[in-house]
Structure 1
Amino acid sequence: MKGINITSITLYSTVAFSSLFRSCAFQVVPTGCGGSRQPSTPSTSTGIGIGTGIEPAPTNSNTIHNNHVMSDDSFGSRRQLITSLVPSAIVTATGVSILLSPQLSFAEDVQVDPVIVDPVIVAPTGEIKKLFNEGRALEQQGNIQASQRIFAKVTKLAPRFIYGWAYLGNSQVALGSLDPAENSYTKAVNLCVESRKEEEKLGIPRCNDLYLLYLNRGSLRLNNGMAMAMAKEALLDLEAADSLRAKPDAVILQNLARAREVNGLYAASDRDYTVAISMTSNEVSPFWLRAALVKFQLGDTMGSFDLIRRVENRFSEAPEVRAALAAMLYAKGDQDIDTARKKFLEIPDRQRLKYRNDEFLLNTISWPPRMIDNIKALSDAVGDAGRVEI
């Protein structure tokens, strides 16, 4: 199956570096996590692909592959029981009204027009195909706003086209419109599920990239600024993606591990992170920091320090990396407390004071409880208690 890169801009280009350490598959372009996935669309004979490129993405990039299939077996009729409650009244000579009993009329006795439902479109044709490809070309050129307008038009003209919604969601993610993007991904997921339920017919493709649609939506839900509120929904999406993929996938695993971590399933999260790291061990990625935090939560001090040191070597200037290492050193006590204080004070005041903010700790960076306890204690130790965040 050919993969197509989701977009060509960096999602986190305007946010703090700490955002990189949340979830990786949600990134539009590889930023140490491995990139983001895009459903692949078949060629003219097999469908149209989702993304901004025609060739498969690099091995360590997240590419969503969605094979587009259109089925025309969406027409059906419904046997209906029609109840005709007609309280006909007969007035007698004495002026008394007699109400007749309701009469039942069955479908066989009444002509009912069949309910016609447009088929799910996996591979568009004609003007829709031309317009869709125009949007993809604009996306490849980096003109995301223009491509979004095109994809929005595609969804209006062909609301049953799976990848019109998927691509619209991609462009919305790239522009930071995460709530609308979730809605677009949900429509794509629902249409793909419907397509898979339809009877398979010769020459008519079906949607077989559902796992990638779940991956995109699940990753979005982990990064929508309210990770705790969407934690269960994100976990369900990513578990579905993992199940449908049916083989180890580094991008799915690192996001699934993150979802399990946010839901407090630390042992399962640690296993997923370990496998994901083993599949991408040649390059240190931001998600390694998350793996270190989980190991620290589980009491694996040696494992957590091994990972955090390697992350520090690559991302030494990142405030979240400095804060995490400082918190771990502080937990060791004794001679490491002074080292922890110095490391924590390397962070500029404005950024350092965020680590006293519960909203920041719980929802923005979503650290595990043990890490939160230690960073707050360290914050007190350096005299930040009572200071107001600038």
Structure 2
Amino acid sequence: MTSSGSGLGESDLAEVLAAVRAFVRERVVPAEAEIEQTDAIPAELRAEAARMGLFGFAIPAEYGGLGLSMSEEVRLVAELGYTTPSFRSMFGTNNGIAGHVLLEGATEEQKQTYLPKIASGEWTASFALTEEGAGSDPAGLATTAVRKDDGWVINGSKRYITNAPSADVLMVFARTDPAATGGDGISVFMVERATPGVSVAPKDVKMGQAGSLTADVHFDDVRVGSETLVGGEAGEGRGYRTAMRCLAHGRIHIAALCVGMAQRLVDESVAYAASRSQGGQVIGAYQLIQGLLADSATDLYAARALVTQTAAAFDDGSDTRIGPSCAKYFASEAVGRIADRAVQIHGGAGYMRGVPVERFYRDARLFRIYEGTSQIQQLVIARQLLRDAAAPGAAGVRGAS
């Protein structure tokens, strides 16, 4: 597992966190209604995010990024999660699953060539794995890459690809060995959006997360050079294994994002309960409302603690599989519960468009689906536990004391 970086150090990190917190709360939060209405991030917010280094916070410094460790990254992402998740999504794939394809699988020459463009925000990257018949299970992956002269020809379609409408480069997963099954025989290619034969369908109309753009992408006899194969010749057939390593990092990242949204929802809930009067007193004085607040605060505390511990274990290499899945599973389910309680605390007001908790209720639903559904996380966790139990000298659940 390739580490994102060795870290900034506490004092430098504190400065970054303070700057990001101020930017999010003073600039992005006031723009939430506009983002919801226009389904777009204002250009000035994107430009400022790039100047702050947010397109490359998880990319090592030698490639132009901030080089945050996982433990540092989750603290930053929690700050980003306090506002509409579409803001983080704008640069999330650069730092996450798309950028990590290069960090995990690319040659040094490829890293030097491509990562600085991704880290600076010059390029927006997309992770093109999902297809109509291949999401959680790679067995149905139908996109193909066939050798042609000194390169490859790619044909196929991808679905629900984040940032596809604005992407400059796509990490495209294609089957290069037609005889292989499952995750075998799949390679990943860096395909620039402007390459002839690449077309992006109209953006999807989603339940929530307005401003985070997704769309289908089609590849019609797309010719790419051999240098676009991630990892060079040695990378052929190793694409799916690279994807799985990227997803481990991405799952912790999404879990931290859920913690940030959970904090915002708790704050909105407490503020409303402390100010809304009913029956001659604020509703927070009623024990049933207090129970909802207490349950949400407990979910928030538990999610934050789990994400913090999981990030530390990821950094030291002691747990790069069960922990990420546990964190993503718990935090995404927890923020859904917290969002539901927030709407309940707001009563009828919580069902009205324009009220933040109504928007976050819709936004939160996606967290239980992407980067691996909750059900996939259950399978990952249980299967790894059973493998560990069957190993010689098994000593119980990792992380337990």
The alignment's TM-score, normalised by the length of structure 1, stands at 0.23
The alignment's TM-score, normalised by the length of structure 2, stands at 0.23
